[in-house]
Structure 1
Amino acid sequence: MRKIKKKHKAAYAPMDDLVTYRAIPTREVEYIDPFLFLNHHGPQVYKSNNRGLPFGPHPHRGFETLTFILDGDIMHQDTGGGKDVIVAGGVQWMTAGRGLIHAEVSSDKFKKEGGPLEILQLWFNLPAKYKMTEPKYVGLQKDQIPTATEDDGNVKVNVISGNWRETQGPIPSLSDIHMASIELKQGGSLTTSIAAERNIFFYVVRGSVKVNGEAVDKQNLVEFENEGEEIKVEAQEDSYILLGHAHPFNEPVVSHGPFVMNTEEEIQEAFRDYQAGKMGSW
């Protein structure tokens, strides 16, 4: 079995009235190459006539974002031409590449009516050769995401990129990142193998599970050693997890706010390009 290095509790990091837990980076773990960042927003319930999500127009360069909408919605717009509203069960994958400006806010309907909200955003690094690639956005509703079942239907795997056994994810990854969200009923279990040289991203969103025999509660990130291959997950209650894996890039990571590059000089160039309007204008 793959050895567990450590379990990390997500840190409470609220943003105005938005309940937020940051799983990575924290004081204990900076990143798991190439997985850089995870914010877990909610769960919470918004009243009617609310302000919604606070993520107005802002720039990005040098990485990708994958956003999971568990409850509520996100209205996305960017200077690359991407624009839509994704509701519960859907995902958004944005390749910032050489740079763009985007906004992630709640729809007018959600702001008017309110309701439950739970959203997670994961950042992937881009290798140096793809840092300046053309920006791209893909939004998928729940019924556009292929699923695979395990354990006689007690486990449902929503395949987003890469593959899960014979099921292929709909979003091609520049860096061979495999990502899935997994829903487990109480008592459900699954076993999979991930090559020892690949780094694993494993986060428990809801419920509690046993991973290779160790108990892991919600809002916990599991950091694995690069030893062994088998991962066995057993649900102690109805649970929802994020599971991804990728080859590490083993490149320098220099980040400043919305930009993730390989050198400080590239960060300064990103700021200059943003100020000069090279990432588009809002």
Structure 2
Amino acid sequence: MSVEIVSKHHQAQGAFDFGRIRENKPIGFPHENGGMNSMSNIFYWAHAWSDVGGLIDTHPHQGFEIMSYVLDGQLSHYDTKYDRWLGLDTGDAQVIRAGNGISHAEKVLPGGNFFQIWFDPDLSKSLKKEASYTDIKQKDFPIEKLEYGTVKTIVGAESPLQLDTEGICVRDLTDIRKGNWSMPLSKESVYSVYVLEGGGQTDYGTLTKDDFLVVKNEDLLSINFGSDSRLFIIESPAKVSYLTYAEGQGIMA
């Protein structure tokens, strides 16, 4: 059994554009204080926002698959492969398959906030591929209304957004009603849970907004929500079949 809760105040912190863009990082870079280190094949996870708008200037990537998911507001994205700016609205997602190298920039419009998550594919293969990206609009994701709330599948199952990174499933759970809630788990997977709204009580401690919960080797996740809530959940393999970046592959991000 392994369960860990990382509150927002214990996550790594960061800023861009002279503080116009702020971020907390449940999974930060190895040199940063706070948050957790990479797990499974999730290398990095940041929640970024801007009240006034800001720019993350052009910078390079290679190897990783980098997903941006717009929680609220708007982003604008530029990359050197296609040499144009494209907009992302609330509920939209984008994956950059950085491959053998690409540079990009992001503008966060006033009031925008989003997740950026770096997934770790088999770098011995991804570094040999041309860089590419996929934008998916909110309306194109599968959404299922269940008794306890609504589930939007962003990656995995019938989603149009697919990754080369092994065994990833990403879901946005909204309108989870106040009261007892549970989700069956597989011991073959790791579950990374970000509390976007609301919160509640678990057997392992209290969850509040922006807390991060990681669950391994459990059969069931149960939360008694004190108010209507929203969870963002990534399921990844407990054991990855290839050597991850964190395990020692020496390439630049």
Settle same-fold status: TM greater than 0.5: yes
**Match status 1:155 vs 2:149:** yes
Query: Could you tell me which of 150, 160, 172 is aligned with 2:162?
Result: 172
CA spacing shift, 1:189–1:243, aligned 2, 3 Å = farther
* 239-248 or 208-217, larger mean C-alpha shift: 208-217
CA spacing shift, 1:188–1:27, aligned 2, 3 Å = same
Is the 1:55–1:105 contact (alpha carbons within 8 Å) kept by the matching residues of 2? Answer: yes
SS of residue matched to 1:196: coil
SS of residue matched to 1:173: coil
SS of residue matched to 2:21: coil
Query: Which residue does the alignment assign to 1:126?
Result: 121
Query: Which residue does the alignment assign to 1:32?
Result: 39
CA spacing shift, 1:237–1:62, aligned 2, 3 Å = same
Is the 1:77–1:83 contact (alpha carbons within 8 Å) kept by the matching residues of 2? Answer: yes
Cα distance in 1 for partners of 2:60, 2:244 equals 21
Is the 1:97–1:134 contact (alpha carbons within 8 Å) kept by the matching residues of 2? Answer: yes
Cα distance in 2 for partners of 1:140, 1:205 equals 21
- 1:98-123 CA deviation, whole Å, 9 max, x = no partner? 211111114xxx4xxx4x22211111
Unaligned runs of 5+ residues in structure 2 are none
SS of residue matched to 1:195: coil
TM-score, normalising length from structure 1? Answer: 0.75
TM-score, normalising length from structure 2? Answer: 0.82
The AA in structure 2 aligned to 1:29 is: M
Quote how far apart the aligned CAs of 1:76 are. Answer: 1.3
Cα distance in 2 for partners of 1:61, 1:246 equals 21
Query: Which residue does the alignment assign to 1:41?
Result: 48
**Match status 1:135 vs 2:131:** yes
Quote how far apart the aligned CAs of 1:155 are. Answer: 1.2
Q: CA RMSD in A?
A: 2.5
Cα distance in 1 for partners of 2:51, 2:181 equals 32
Query: Which residue does the alignment assign to 1:80?
Result: 81
Query: Which residue does the alignment assign to 1:182?
Result: 173
The total of aligned residue pairs comes to 239
Query: Could you tell me which of 218, 226, 241 is aligned with 1:236?
Result: 226
**Match status 1:220 vs 2:220:** no
- Which structure shows the bigger proportion of residues in helix conformation? 1
Cα distance in 1 for partners of 2:136, 2:149 equals 21
Quote how far apart the aligned CAs of 1:27 are. Answer: 3.6
Query: Could you tell me which of 4, 7, 10 is aligned with 2:5?
Result: 7
CA spacing shift, 1:136–1:222, aligned 2, 3 Å = same
Cα distance in 2 for partners of 1:211, 1:55 equals 37
Percent identity reads: 18
Quote how far apart the aligned CAs of 1:34 are. Answer: 0.9
- 1:121-146 CA deviation, whole Å, 9 max, x = no partner? 11111123433133221112221221
Quote how far apart the aligned CAs of 1:209 are. Answer: 3.4
- 1:192-237 CA deviation, whole Å, 9 max, x = no partner? 3332122222111222134567431111111223x23223344322
Query: Could you tell me which of 233, 246, 249 is aligned with 1:263?
Result: 249
Cα distance in 1 for partners of 2:178, 2:107 equals 37
Is the 2:22–2:48 contact (alpha carbons within 8 Å) kept by the matching residues of 1? Answer: yes
Query: Which residue does the alignment assign to 1:20?
Result: 23
| Largest Rg, 1 or 2 | 1
CA spacing shift, 1:5–1:228, aligned 2, 3 Å = closer
CA spacing shift, 1:85–1:229, aligned 2, 3 Å = same
Unaligned runs of 5+ residues in structure 1 are 47-51, 255-260, 271-282
Quote how far apart the aligned CAs of 1:173 are. Answer: 2.0
**Match status 1:199 vs 2:200:** no
Quote how far apart the aligned CAs of 1:69 are. Answer: 0.9
Is the 2:149–2:177 contact (alpha carbons within 8 Å) kept by the matching residues of 1? Answer: no
* 55-64 or 22-31, larger mean C-alpha shift: 22-31
Query: Which residue does the alignment assign to 2:142?
Result: 146
Query: Which residue does the alignment assign to 1:246?
Result: 236
CA spacing shift, 1:182–1:176, aligned 2, 3 Å = same
SS of residue matched to 1:172: coil
